[in-house]
Structure formats: C-alpha cells, structure tokens
Structure 1
Amino acid sequence: MRSLIVPLVILGLPIAEIAGFVVVGRELGLAMTLLLVLVSGVAGVLLLRIQGLGTLRRVQEAARAGKDPGPELLGGALILVAAILLIVPGFITDIAGLIVFLPPVRRAISAFLQTRLTILTTGSGFYSGGRGSDRPRGPTIIDLDTDEFSRRNDDENGPSPPSNRISG
C-alpha cells in the first residue's frame, strides 16, 4: 500500500495544482492568479530568510549553552520545507507551506518526527575547557620522540605491521 502512495502523490500533485490554477484563474483572472503565484514565491523567500536566520541563531545559542541543538535543527528543516513549498508555484503547495510555517503546527510535526527519528549529536564543538571545568576531558596525549619509543616485534600478537614500525 505504501509503495502506491508515493507515485500517486508524484503524479497527482501536478494535476491538482493545474486544476487549482484553472479554478483560481476563472475566479480571479489570469493577471491576479499570476500575481498570487509571484507573491507567494517572494513570501517564501522572505520567510525563509527571516525565520531561517532566527533558527540559525537559536541553534548557535543552544550549542554555546551546551544544550542539544537537535530540536532547533529539526525546526529549521521544517522551515526550509515550508519555504520550498511556498516557492514552488501552485496553490496547494502554498497552503501546505503556510500551514507548516505556523509554530504550533511545526511543533506538532517536530514532536511526531522526534518519536520516529533518532537524532545523534556529538559533543559541542564550542567547548573550551579550562581550569575548574567539571566536564570530562578527552584522552591524554603523550608526545614521544623516536628514541623514547620502541615496539617489541615478538609480542603475543605477532610482529607489528610495517606501517606501525618506527625507524630511527
């Protein structure tokens, strides 16, 4: 059943959009229909710029504070999808894009997707630990010169491969 849904949407959406153009064109006229399509595209670009920059700022603030930026990133992805839906010509995609731009709808979609997705994040790249920091530190790195290091070739694992040997 799921395999039939995607082709039907791919084929059905353009047909529905064309039908929407015909219906709106009959009611408002050609010039107003084209103006609406142009205005919705410009609105999509402007909303993407305004909302996208705000989302980017929230992601940076969450990362600086050591919080998980995953929900903010998911919200940003939904804003991107909504903007693309507005930019694509058509009234059905415009309505869907405007609905996704609404914050309560975005939160509901985000909550639904978070139950179905696994978002993995690694440590924040903004951490700069200093003295008095209670965060765990990474592995200790010891820098050795070639004369301070030797490897036994007859250990229990057999001789070491040539790439791991240090020649003096």
Structure 2
Amino acid sequence: MNVAKVLLWVVLALPVLELLAFGAVAATIGFGWALILLLAGSFAGALVLRHAGGNHIARMRVAMAEGSISSLAADTTGGLVILAGILLLVPGFITDVVALGVLLSTLFRARRDPPPRADGVVDLDPEQWHRVPEPALRDDRDPGRRPG
C-alpha cells in the first residue's frame, strides 16, 4: 500500500474519529464543556498562527520569493509551529492533542539549541566538528611574473 493511499484514508477517517472523540469527551464532561474546549482550542490555534507563526510565515514568503529552499529547510521549528497552529485551528480533540505534542517538541528543541548569535558566528560543540588539514594550494600565477 503506498503512502498516498494511507494518507488519503487518514484524511477521510479523521472527521469520523473526531466525532467519536467529541462524543466520548462530551459524555465524560458534558456537552457544554466539550464545546467550550473545542472553541478554546481553535482560538489557541488562531493565536499561535497570529503571533508565533506570523514571523515564520513572513520568512517563508521571502524565502519562496528568493527561491531559497535551503533557508526553508533550516527553519524546521518555524514550520512545526505553523503546523501546530493549523492543527489547533481545526476543531477536534485528536488534532488538538497532536498539535500540543508538536508544540511541546518545538519548545524542548528550542531549549536545547542555543539562540543564534548576532555576529553570525556559529558555536559548535566539540563532537560536532573536526579539524581538516589545509590542502596544498596550487600556484596558478604566471611563472614569468614575480610575486610582489
């Protein structure tokens, strides 16, 4: 079975699963509270997209306009925040739980990685780099010309 088929089945089954999850939550805490939780999740998704995702969306637009795919690949945290915001915006408890997992993973990743320095210097841990011997440089200058 190929990946596109599986993805299609997941997308088609998600609304049914979300309805079942809503029914289970509503039976547990009550219909009104379940509805309030759904609305709160969608509101949280709008806030995430507006505040945290806004900067990332602007950077994605600039990178797409410049054709710089490598800068998009380097900004995985921004893409995950946007994905979490979209998942929160979609009403449903399953998508909200997945979105919270994505947001928590980005928070832990952001704590682990130091913030970039303003002077453009990249600090690496000792296990992330090794010294490479300098190659012998060819002298491509004109042999009749003296270095000056």
Q: Same fold by TM-score, threshold 0.5 exceeded?
A: yes
1:16-165, aligned counterparts within 5 Å? Answer: 16-53=17-54, 55=56, 69-70=71-72, 71-72=74-75, 74-102=76-104, 103=106
Q: Describe the shift of the 1:10–1:56 C-alpha distance in structure 2 as closer, same or farther (beyond 3 A).
A: closer
| Matched AA of 1:37 | L
Q: Describe the shift of the 1:106–1:56 C-alpha distance in structure 2 as closer, same or farther (beyond 3 A).
A: farther
How many Å separate the matches in 1 of 2:94 and 2:108?
17
Gap runs ≥5 in structure 1: 60-67, 108-168
Q: Does 1:8 align with 2:31?
A: no
TM-aligned CA deviation for residue 69 of structure 1: 3.5
What is the aligned residue count? 100
Task: From the two aligned structures, give the one with the greater helix fraction.
Answer: 2
1:56-102 CA distance string (max 9 Å, x none): 6988xxxxxxxx74322x33222111111001000000011111112
How many Å separate the matches in 2 of 1:14 and 1:57?
31
TM-score, length-normalised on structure 2?
A: 0.57
How many Å separate the matches in 2 of 1:16 and 1:5?
15
CA contact (8 A) 1:86 1:94 kept: yes
How many Å separate the matches in 2 of 1:55 and 1:7?
28
Give SS of 2:91's match.
Answer: coil
Deviates more, 1:8-17 or 1:85-94: 8-17
How many Å separate the matches in 2 of 1:82 and 1:54?
15
TM-score, length-normalised on structure 1?
A: 0.51
CA contact (8 A) 1:100 1:106 kept: no
Q: Describe the shift of the 1:75–1:31 C-alpha distance in structure 2 as closer, same or farther (beyond 3 A).
A: same
Gap runs ≥5 in structure 2: 61-69, 111-148
How many Å separate the matches in 1 of 2:7 and 2:56?
30
| Matched AA of 1:97 | A
Q: Which protein is bigger by CA-based radius of gyration?
A: 1
TM-aligned CA deviation for residue 53 of structure 1: 4.0
| Matched AA of 2:83 | V
Q: Give % identity.
A: 37
TM-aligned CA deviation for residue 46 of structure 1: 1.2
